[in-house]
Amino acid sequence: MPARTCPCGLPADYPDCCGRFHRGEAAAATAEQLMRSRFAAFGVRDEGYLLRTWHPTTRPARAGLDKRVTWVRLEVLESTGGSVVHTEGTVRFRAHYLDRGRPGEMEEHSRFVRHEGRWVYLGAL
């Protein structure tokens, strides 16, 4: 069975791209990489990964995945900080989805911080 392209938008196969983060074989090195891997987790419905990469002070009990929504494409619009030498960063993105077959999009400016040495999602700005 051929590998499928990663939902995060990078030109790589899912198992070698965000799949390795979802399986726990690697950790995101930058805030943008974490954001992309979280988008991919929405795409493959990996609620466990979403919750593990959410800061404990803002993490909900459930990620709220909607079976009627299919996440189809991601555009990273801007990022600040969030590199391997930073402890905070932001990523502004546009996520495209299908809701019961109807196209839609949402835009968010997200804040990420390092927690216990790893990047985590803190919340929207």
Listing DSSP states for the chain in one string gives -PPPBPTTSSSSBTTTTTHHHHTTS---SSHHHHHHHHHHHHHHT-HHHHHHTB-TTT--SS----TTEEEEEEEEEEEEE-STT-SEEEEEEEEEEEETTEEEEEEEEEEEEEETTEEEEEEE-
Q: Residue 2: is its pLDDT beyond 80?
A: no
Q: Residue 3: is its pLDDT beyond 70?
A: no
pLDDT tens-digit map of 10-33: 999 999 999 999 999 999 999 999
Report the distance separating Cα 37 and Cα 42, nearest Å: 9
| Widest pairwise Cα distance in the chain | 41
**Residue 62: what pLDDT?**
95
Report the distance separating Cα 30 and Cα 10, nearest Å: 15
pLDDT tens-digit map of 62-121: 998 999 999 999 999 999 999 999 999 999 999 999 999 999 999 999 999 999 999 999
Domains contained in the chain, CATH given: 19-124 (3.10.450.50)
pLDDT tens-digit map of 29-67: 999 999 999 999 999 999 999 999 999 999 999 998 999
Lookup result for tokens 């899912």? 14
